[in-house]
Structure 1
């Protein structure tokens, strides 16, 4: 009897349990990672956040969510600068109706506002990857949607964080903001395409005027939720000539020997 029980226990150990056996199945796990570095002025910040809230309420977004096999996605949101802003996190929620999407938009709108020093795209990607890996959902697709108007200049190398996300099965899409291009590095869309985005079907969707915010954000979310291929106006990731993925770090070192992002609060 003891030998039989030992054999059964041994056989059980050889049969691997499925990862996240009790995880909730969804069509997509989507992280919205939004730049609030001080290069974003208060007007851009307000328009950007309002654009996300409006996109979540839009009937086209709701239709895309409901059209999937499960009819639901898992969604989280946070803002970042030199660090991830802990007070800006909207934790993971199931979006499966207009009501749940509207509730998420209201939580987003209620967050404290502010812009902060530093641009750590790598910290945002690392946080988004960890959040997806530990969230208790089982998504058919995994996406980090990251916006920004400047290159990484603090924390680990951005390519390393991007590659870690992609190796975990996550697609990283970019929303580079070129409303006021930096004279030091104006081609932020090329930087996002080469250094930030990655994974099968990844893309960047540049924003060049404040009037484009709401439309571009809505279009991007619908593409991500539906899993549709981007149209030719969207730049496929890694489609441009190589760029210096350490340009932000090199520029920061050249302009200043000291850099202190605000403490997270």
Structure 2
């Protein structure tokens, strides 16, 4: 009886070791089931002093309408897994960052329309402050740990200003890129005509990164639509 019990203990131990080993082994590359979604996307929305109530409403309406656009729906449908995950953050100075839309899976036209309506109806939920792009990047990068597994990790930063609060943004950018995260920018040039150059040099980075300028807030809707289609489709698309 004792020998039989010992044999069962050893057998159980070996089975447990084999199961543990399977969990430690990397999954084979190139299969759709490797990841839950094609893209995990953090939308980081500027709510600093330079963004008034009208400009904020233009941002949210443009973002919502973009997700409801057929071009975005088509881009999602063209992915290997045909689904993406999106989370939205409002940010201003180093004390103010807030998740306003939690991780949401978008896997079809109905999902995209629903998320679009959510964005259009999302109010400003932050106290206005300075412009801490660096803290916005740090906060956004940490969100991927709670999101679904994704083939690509992207932070989408929309802003009309330069970093004037918190740590130096270029140093933070480099730390975020080291985690395998791509940072793209949408620059609204109503206050800083050369902001796109600044964002390209100090904020954006990673595989296939890009910066899209909008001359003013009236041009934001068209710019964010082009940006989302490009982000969802992936690197190599212009």
Q: TM-score range by the shorter chain?
A: 0.7 to 0.9
Distance 2:25 2:164 in 1: 39
CA contact (8 A) 1:189 1:204 kept: yes
What's 1:52 paired with?
63
Query: Structure 1: which 5+ residue stretches go unaligned?
Result: 232-265
CA distance in structure 2 between the aligned counterparts of 1:103 and 1:33, rounded to whole angstroms: 19
TM-score, with structure 2 as normaliser: 0.84
Alignment match of 1:226 (pick from 211, 217, 233): 233
**Where do 4+ consecutive residues of structure 1 move more than 6 Å?**
none
What residue ranges of structure 2 are gaps of 5+ in the alignment? 1-6, 28-32
TM-score, normalized by length of structure 1? Answer: 0.76
Q: Does 1:196 align with 2:208?
A: no
Confirm or deny: 8 A CA contact 1:78 1:89 kept in the other structure: yes
Could you tell me how far 1:160 is from its partner in structure 2? 2.7
Q: 1:84 to 1:107 in 2, by over 3 A?
A: farther
Kept in 2: contact 1:203–1:230 (CA 8 A): no
Q: Which has the larger radius of gyration?
A: 2
**Aligned mates of 2:38, 2:146 — CA distance in 1:** 17
Count the aligned residue pairs.
Answer: 224
CA distance in structure 2 between the partners assigned to 1:70 and 1:7 by the alignment: 36
**Aligned: 1:148 with 2:168:** no
CA distance in 2, matches of 1:70, 1:11: 30
Contact 1:40 1:115 in 2 (8 A): no
Larger fraction in helix: 2
Cross-structure match for 1:261: none
Classify the secondary structure of the residue corresponding to 1:179. coil
2:3 counterpart residue number: none
Q: Does 1:128 align with 2:140?
A: yes
Offset, 1:150:
1.5
State how far apart, in whole Å, the 2-side matches of 1:102 and 1:19 are: 36
- Alignment equivalent of 1:119, drawn from 127, 131, 141: 131
Q: How does 1:137-216 map to 2 (within 5 A)?
A: 137-181=148-192, 186-216=193-223
1:39-78 matches, within 5 Å, as 39-78=50-89
Residue 101 of structure 1 aligns with which residue?
A: 112
Counterpart CA distance in 2 for 1:40 and 1:197 is: 21
